[in-house]
Amino acid sequence: MVLNMREYTDRFKDLNISIYYNGPLWDDGIKGIAEMVKTSLASDDLSSGASKAIFSVFVEQTTNMIMHSAEKELYTQLDTEEVSTGMLALGHKGNTYFIQTGNAIKSSSAEYVKQKIDHLNTLDKKELRQYQKEKMRSENDNPDSKGAGLGLIEIARRVTAPIEYTLEPIDENMTYFTLYVEIAQEVKE
């Protein structure tokens, strides 16, 4: 079956999506996408602060997907046989960039993720900075997490609107987690 790729291209263009990826995620693979993001941001003539914020959030979101995806694919040609899977989209609406990611997580983590994001959305920038300092000194409170639990805090500090998300049950073991963030920026003059 031949897909109508022009239809997809037109749809992404209508949604102002400049980068879209769906599939396996591993560190070296993401480096290539990260280079595309850097190049895309550089060509958009953004302030360095805006570019850094967008790129930092992109890195945090993709890192979170690599570390926490409950769906794994086998890739024997890589150093590891199990590779996380997920999707990401980067685009803009006027002077606001958006990054959306999606991946399956363990259903046992869904309530923790919900509570964490809901809490982060109640904090202002100063409170987020203080909360991040406290978390850096404390132990990770998520038993399913492989990291320090700071990624969502870093994202919340850099975005310019509340974090949006959905948690959709797939089955009793997995939940599909979609994360959407926006970063407003100033274009260089």
pLDDT (0 to 100) of residue 45 = 78
| pLDDT computed for residue 189 by the predictor | 39
82 is written with which tokens?
Answer: 């199990």
Residue 110 φ then ψ, to 5°: -60, -45
Cα 37 to Cα 16: distance, rounded to the nearest angstrom: 14
Question: Is-contact 68 16, C-beta < 8 A?
Answer: no
Q: Scan for tokens 């959306």, then name that residue.
A: 100
3-state secondary structure string, the chain? CCCCHHHHHHHHHHCCEEEEEEEEECHHHHHHHHHHHHHHHHHCCECHHHHHHHHHHHHHHHHHHHHHCCCEEECCCCCCCEEEEEEEEEEEECCEEEEEEEEEEEHHHHHHHHHHHHHHCCCCHHHHHHHHHHHHHCCCCCCCCCCCCCHHHHHHHHCCCCCEEEEEECCCCEEEEEEEEEEECCECC
Beta bridge partners of 93: 96
Decide: pTM greater than 0.85. Answer: yes
Structure tokens at 135: 């978390």
pLDDT in tens, the chain (189 residues): 898 999 989 999 999 998 999 988 888 888 888 888 888 888 887 888 888 999 999 999 999 998 889 888 766 555 556 788 999 999 999 889 999 999 999 999 999 999 999 999 999 999 999 999 998 887 666 555 555 568 999 999 999 999 999 999 999 999 999 999 999 986 443
pLDDT at 167: 98
